[in-house]
Structure 1
Amino acid sequence: MPVYNGEKFLGESIYSVIKQSYSDWELIIIDDGSIDNTSEIISDFIALDKRIKTFYQTNMKQGIARNLGIKHSTGNIIAFLDADDLWKVDKLAIMVDFLHQSKCELVFSDAYIQYDDLSDGKPVIKNQTFGVVNARYQGINGVESFLLYNRIPLLTVLVKRETLFEVGLFSDRGISEDFELWLKLLLKGVEFKSLNQVLAFYRVHSKSTTHQDKLAIDASIDVIYDLYRNVGKSYKQLFNDYLKVWYRRKLETIADYYAYKEFLAVIVTQNQNNFKYQLLKIFNLGSLGYKLHKKLIFHLI
């Protein structure tokens, strides 16, 4: 459990672990340089339950914090829970059983999306879930399913510890490092299975990492592009095709000249060997207007 200045929700999240019907667990909390009352809250819970441990690091973001927790873990199965999310009481019991029955390396389930403390005026849908279905993901079909979008609510995952070390754990991107990890695991041939049962609550609020959808799109494009540069020939075209899908998604979110100009530079940089993308530098953005230029790039993609 990584936490940075998480005093508002941390206690609830820890309690959701303590209340688990499955009791053979350890909770490793990584304090990622908090300056609020996080450390005091953690200390109170450690005094209450000896299965809870904590380690401190200067602020290095969630991916590095999760890696530190994984390295200090003693079990052979890893689960994830952020300091603002919640597990249902039978989450671990059900998923441990599902992992053993499935005989694969990673399993995940559905979760509710719980909206708290939002100030952007977005409508809140009651009982909204991630829409996880019963499925199996492996090989090129599994990779393609995940290139379309990240299908895993991180807080529902159970994964074999040794499997994570085989691909080098999480990166330090700050956003979408879990998306990157799932793709790396699938590219290595790891099998995932999913359960459509809702077993957790994913909290969305004004300070949550993925509340900024546009930032998540940018990070996902970077993930796919970075992996595209290193994948084998059998996956090259697939990654290229889905990079275009994510380009279009990004373009659909852009509503001003400066954001468009910034993203145009990303596209041109990521496609230096593609002649049609380099043509974009020839067409003057200022004279055409960014809306017309955006239509042109949609056609080129």
Structure 2
Amino acid sequence: MESPLVSVIIPTFNAEKYISDTIQSVQNQTYQNWEIILVDDCSTDTTPKIITTFLTDKRIQFYPLEINSGTGIARNTALAKAKGKYIAFLDADDLWKPEKLQKQIAFMQSNDLPFTFSFYECIDEDGDALGRRVEAPRNLSYWQLFFCNYVGNLTGIYDVGYFGKISISSIRKRQDWMLWLSILKKIKIAKPVPESLAFYRLRSNSLSTSKTELIRYNFAVYRQFHGFNVLVSVFCMLGFLFTQLFVKPSYIKRIYDSPHSGLNKK
């Protein structure tokens, strides 16, 4: 029996330095029944030109937007084109390990799960290992996720047959967290594949490196996505900050002698 199709959604914007490696990390998967749907959000660099060099692979589709609209619109545009049983997400500067899809799909099928994610490792802008593996609770509850996004966007996969296609929020940041919250609200508990299957690139201008921006956008999730008033949102943010400072650090593991250090050295 043929393996089910996985639709890989990749929004792009000025990612010329990374997009080739990102696409190749999907092409190098041991699980080969996938389609990549790239939607470019009006890049001003050579990202679209680089993407076109990959279109000889018929599993890769490319849709450039005419107006810069944000990653939410880009992801929803890709989602509308997706034909897979499973939806997977990958940002234009992140990477998958070769067995990522194979292990996750097998984990979902053997445990009858409609959603899963995995641990991941951090790399710097040049692709060098930072010696950190980000883990998560083995039985992640909605309320744990409510106060902290434990799910790396580059690792999440969900079953379209179970959830349908889940529209991405129009809020410009933290869309992945809102997506996982919508999923956990339905299934209550999520189980990760308990190993690192991807590489998350920490860039100097990324949201994850700006604490002030992180607080601002997370507050917007409580106000706009959940619809709480200002006072309730402030109390939620206090819970979020407590979790970030005292709980989440226990899930960030130091790793040494990573076999994938120096990823930039091709």
TM-score range, shorter chain: 0.7 to 0.9
Aligned to 1:68: 77
Structure number having the greater strand percentage: 2
- The question of whether the paired residues in 1 share the 8 Å contact of 2:124 and 2:202 is answered with yes
The change in CA–CA distance for 1:109 and 1:176 in structure 2 (over 3 A counts) is same
- 1:169-188 CA deviation, whole Å, 9 max, x = no partner? 21122211111121122223
Corresponding position of 1:56: 64
> Per-residue displacement from partner, 1:103-136 (whole Å, max 9, x unpaired)?
1221000000112269xxxxx9832011234x23
Q: Compared with structure 1, are the counterparts of its residues 210 and 172 closer, same or farther at alpha carbon in structure 2 (3 Å cutoff)?
A: farther
- 8 A Cα contact 1:88 1:199, kept in partner: yes
| Greater relative CO, 1 or 2 (CA 8 Å, sep 6+) | 2
1:59–1:114: structure 2 CA closer, same or farther, 3 Å change rule? same
Alignment correspondent of 1:174:
172
How many aligned positions are there? Answer: 233
Q: What is the aligned counterpart of 2:120 among 111, 121, 135?
A: 111
Residue deviations 1:23-82 (CA, integer Å, cap 9, x gap): 1000111111112111111110112x1111111112111121111111101111011111
Q: Report the secondary structure of 1:206's partner residue.
A: coil
2:222 is matched with: 224
Q: Which runs of 5+ in 2 are unaligned?
A: 1-9, 245-266
Q: Normalising by structure 1, what TM-score?
A: 0.70
- The one-letter amino acid paired with 1:157 is G
Contact 1:28–1:69 (Cα < 8 Å) also in 2: yes
User: What CA distance in whole angstroms lies between the structure 2 residues aligned with 1:125 and 1:200?
Assistant: 12
Match among 119, 128, 131 for residue 127 of structure 1: 131
Q: Residues 35 and 240 from structure 1, CA distance in 2 versus in 1: closer, same or farther, beyond 3 angstroms?
A: closer
Q: Matches of 2:219 and 2:233 in 1, distance apart?
A: 11
Q: Which residue of 1 aligns with 2:155?
A: 156
CA contact (8 A) 1:109 1:157 kept: yes
Task: Report the equivalent of 1:245.
Answer: 239
Match 1:186 to one of 179, 184, 187? 184
Amino acid at match of 1:178: D
Question: Given that residues 105 and 190 in structure 1 are in contact (C-alpha distance below 8 angstroms), is that contact kept between their aligned partners in structure 2?
Answer: no
Cα offset, 1:247, TM superposition? 6.9
* Cα 1:98–1:248 shift into 2, 3 Å: closer
Distance 1:17 1:184, change over 3 A: same
Correspondence for 1:255: none
- Post-superposition offset of 1:9: 0.5
Q: Percent identity?
A: 29
CA distance, structure 2, for counterparts of residue 247 and residue 90 of structure 1: 34
In structure 2, C-alpha distance between the alignment counterparts of 1:187 and 1:239, rounded to whole Å? 19
Task: Give the TM-score, by structure 2 length.
Answer: 0.78
Does the Cα contact within 8 Å between 2:219 and 2:234 map onto a contact in 1? Answer: no
User: In the aligned structure 2, how far is the partner of 1:215 from the partner of 1:51?
Assistant: 36
Shift of 1:93: 0.5
For 1:247 and 1:131, how far apart are their aligned partners in 2? Answer: 18
* Amino acid in structure 1 at the alignment position of 2:195: Q
Between the aligned partners of 1:239 and 1:98, the Cα distance in structure 2 is 36
User: What code does the residue aligned with 1:198 have?
Assistant: S
Counterpart-to-counterpart distance in 1, 2:241 and 2:227: 16
Q: How far has the Cα of 1:246 moved from its partner? A: 3.8
Bigger shift: 153-162 or 19-28? 153-162
RMSD value, Cα: 2.8
Aligned partner of 1:23 in structure 2 is 32
